Amino acid sequence: MGTILGGGCGLQSLACDERLKFGIIESAFSDFESVVHDYFKLFLGFDCPFITDYLIWRAGQAAGFDPEEVVPARCARQIHQPIFMVHGKRDNRIKWQYAKTNYDALASRDKTFITYPEATHFNIRKVGGEDYFRQVEHFLERQLN
């Protein structure tokens, strides 16, 4: 199970490790660079691509990864395991369309995508309530039986 930035990591993990039998992904981004630009704009009110691109490159240098390789939507094409995805349509941090991009790219034939129109970045389980937990439970029952 991966949520938010961990959702992107979860998708990448599913793509390269077939020991993972299924995934539950909440509010995942589709590519690192886009979401960093979005966050820059969210917190500062504008995006300055030159600065943001430098910060993305610098983060990769500092942490030892290539930001251009952090693209869950590309990895989704290699995922054949069952996936349950959920996203809030009022999420102002990670656009729900990013999750839809991931979902559309999935190679899996056993996939579910649910959006909650009133859910934001931090309250998807609360807004989804009983419906959310019932759907997750149903997905888990199918995978574990």
> What one-letter code names the amino acid at 132?
Y
Q: Which residue do the tokens 């690192």 mark?
A: 32
* pTM score above 0.85: yes
- pLDDT band, very low/low/confident/very high, at 5 (cuts 50, 70, 90): confident
Residues 36-85 have pLDDT tens digits of 999 999 999 999 999 999 999 999 999 999 999 999 999 999 999 999 99
Q: Which residue do the tokens 């998708």 mark?
A: 11
Please name which of 41, 38, 15, 11 lies closest in space to residue 26, comparing C-alpha atoms: 11
What is the side-by-side order of every strand in the sheet holding 111-116? 2-3, 23-26, 83-88, 111-116
Q: Where are the domains of the chain?
A: 2-31+71-139
Return the CATH fold of 2-31+71-139. Rossmann fold (3.40.50)
